[in-house]
Amino acid sequence: DQQVKQNSPSLSVQEGRISILNCDYTNSMFDYFLWYKKYPAEGPTFLISISSIKDKNEDGRFTVFLNKSAKHLSLHIVPSQPGDSAVYFCAASVTGNQFYFGTGTSLTVIP
């Protein structure tokens, strides 16, 4: 039962352009969402979060958008840099309890 889905296994973007990673969820009780970045041989690293009371959160080049009615969130990276190449996971939870992760999207930023 995959409650959090990332339907794009991979994404390639030119350096300097925008990267948009998407995530869908099915549980309407989810109220806290996070994005993690993962490099090979390392654990996931927290990137940015958003609670359900907001529809947008920005942190430097990273912006997360939440559309509760569509049960959809997206991560925008502008401008994309080669160092952003990694696997990105979205995760969702109810009040910060058990986190459900998507299957990840592998982002490649081409110099």
Partner 1 sequence: DAGVTQSPTHLIKTRGQQVTLRCSPKSGHDTVSWYQQALGQGPQFIFQYYEEEERQRGNFPDRFSGHQFPNYSSELNVNALLLGDSALYLCASSPGRFGAGQVFGPGTRLTVL
Q: Which residues bind partner 1 (CB under 8 A)?
A: 4, 6, 32, 36, 41-46, 49, 89, 91, 93, 95-104
Tell the smallest beta-carbon distance from residue 51 to partner 1 (Å): 10
Tell the smallest beta-carbon distance from residue 53 to partner 1 (Å): 14
CA distance 67 to 74: 9
What is the distance in angstroms between the CA of the first residue and the CA of the last residue of the chain?
38
Q: Which is nearer to partner 1, 16 or 46 (CB)?
A: 46
Burial level of 100, CB count in 10 A (0-12/13-18/19+)?
A: middle
CA distance 5 to 30: 13
Tell the smallest beta-carbon distance from residue 61 to partner 1 (Å): 21
| Cβ atoms of residues 91 and 4 within 8 Å | yes
Q: Which is nearer to partner 1, 27 or 79 (CB)?
A: 27
Q: Which is nearer to partner 1, 29 or 78 (CB)?
A: 29
